[in-house]
Chain A
Amino acid sequence: MNTRSQVLLWGAQRASAMVLALCVIVHFITIIYAVRNGLSAVEILGRTRGSIAWGGFYFLFVAAVAVHAPIGIRNICVEMGWRSRGVDVLMFVLALTLAMWGLRAVWAVVL
């Protein structure tokens, strides 16, 4: 991978990290609040079903994760010595998988 792409990947990592920092803080607060007195499907769906705000939030969350995690995994692989084209393919596959399953989950709990 040429230098320009490497730098852009680094930039995307940092940018998605900033988005994720905010999303994770919100998510932690939500989860810690939600697990008190046990977790139930009714409670979760009661919060998320039909909510544009939650839908938008989780959409953003999934998008940021689909960028951040695959680049991170790629970095780990490169540092462990794996530098061929395969590592880039893995990154894209991971990104697509996370995006698809994540969006499916958002769809499931919002609609």
Chain B
Amino acid sequence: MNALKVKIWRGTESGKFQDYEVPRQESQTVLDVVTYVQRRLDPSLAYRFACRVGVCGSCAMTVNGVSRWTCRTHVSKVAGDSALEIAPLRNLPVVRDLVTDMAEFFDKWAKARGRFTGNKTRKDDFARVEPASKQRRAVDAAIECIGCGVCYSSCEVVTWKPDYLGPAALSRAWTLVNDVRDVAQKERLAAVAGDAGCHACHTQMNCTERCPKHISPTAGIAGLKRAVLAATLKGEL
């Protein structure tokens, strides 16, 4: 089998691509390639992974310009005869090589009020949430997010507007806006409205296109826009 030519980003924000040659295998993922390089060719390469079976989201990187989970990306699908180019996720500070600092990603989650606030205690009865209700179905469509950062890395608005809360944080806020048990809705809508919030979304839909869990942050953000307008017209905002 011929060798696969790979370019991997080394360094921090300033750095460069380094060339490696990796033997091709029949069923090979991009994560396999990165692992081979680190174990056999260059132990100084830094990268993240955990489950390697497509459930944790840790191995997200930019492959030939596209943000994806490397453990779920077959080399045969992305490389063909040409080289493979592997870089860290976009829009995040680079710690080293393929590892990014995810702090701001999760900070924005908090800024969008992506946490649940309830008012019941253990002494109260269970909350009743109707699974077939419109609101619960809206939650279901977006709840499987595992915070991998692929959408955030794919969003052009995040690139040119560093304040923008981003698709993941807003999508999470949307699941809570539709959570009938949550009591902090006014604060949440105030947190997601405005220049750095849902109104900055240009509906380019890179997030929806790239999400490995098939969530549509664009749909959630559109929902937030409607919810914010409704609250404003009712005088609640």
Instruction: Contact check, A3 vs B193: say whether CB atoms are below 8 A apart.
Output: yes
Q: How does the 8 Å CB contact mask read for B98-118 relative to A, with 1 for contact and 0 for none?
A: 000000000000000000000
Is B194 located at the chain interface by the 8 A CB criterion?
A: yes
Main secondary structure of the interface of A (DSSP, over half): helix
Is A4 located at the chain interface by the 8 A CB criterion?
A: yes
Instruction: Contact check, A11 vs B233: say whether CB atoms are below 8 A apart.
Output: yes
Give CA–CA (A31, B229) in the complex, Å.
36
Measured between beta carbons, the chain B residues less than 8 angstroms from A7 are 193-194, 199, 228-229, 232, 237
**Which residues does B use to contact A, with CB under 8 Å?**
161, 190, 193-195, 199, 225, 228-229, 232-233, 237
Instruction: Contact check, B195 vs A6: say whether CB atoms are below 8 A apart.
Output: yes
Give CA–CA (A38, B48) in the complex, Å.
67
Instruction: Contact check, B161 vs A79: say whether CB atoms are below 8 A apart.
Output: yes
Is A10 located at the chain interface by the 8 A CB criterion?
A: yes
Instruction: Contact check, B229 vs A10: say whether CB atoms are below 8 A apart.
Output: yes
A side interface size, CB within 8 A = 9
Instruction: Contact check, B195 vs A78: say whether CB atoms are below 8 A apart.
Output: yes
Give CA–CA (A8, B234) in the complex, Å.
12
Quick one: which of A7, A8, A10 has the most chain B CB within 10 A? A7
Give CA–CA (A10, B192) in the complex, Å.
14
In the complex, what's the smallest C-beta–C-beta distance from A84 to chain B, in angstroms? 14
Give CA–CA (A6, B189) in the complex, Å.
13
In the complex, what's the smallest C-beta–C-beta distance from B155 to chain A, in angstroms? 15
Give CA–CA (A79, B161) in the complex, Å.
8
Give CA–CA (A4, B194) in the complex, Å.
9
Give CA–CA (A10, B232) in the complex, Å.
11
In the complex, what's the smallest C-beta–C-beta distance from A79 to chain B, in angstroms? 7
Give the contacts of A53-79 with B (CB-CB under 8 A).
78-79
Q: Residue of B at shortest CB range from A7?
A: B232
Q: Residue of A at shortest CB range from B197?
A: A3
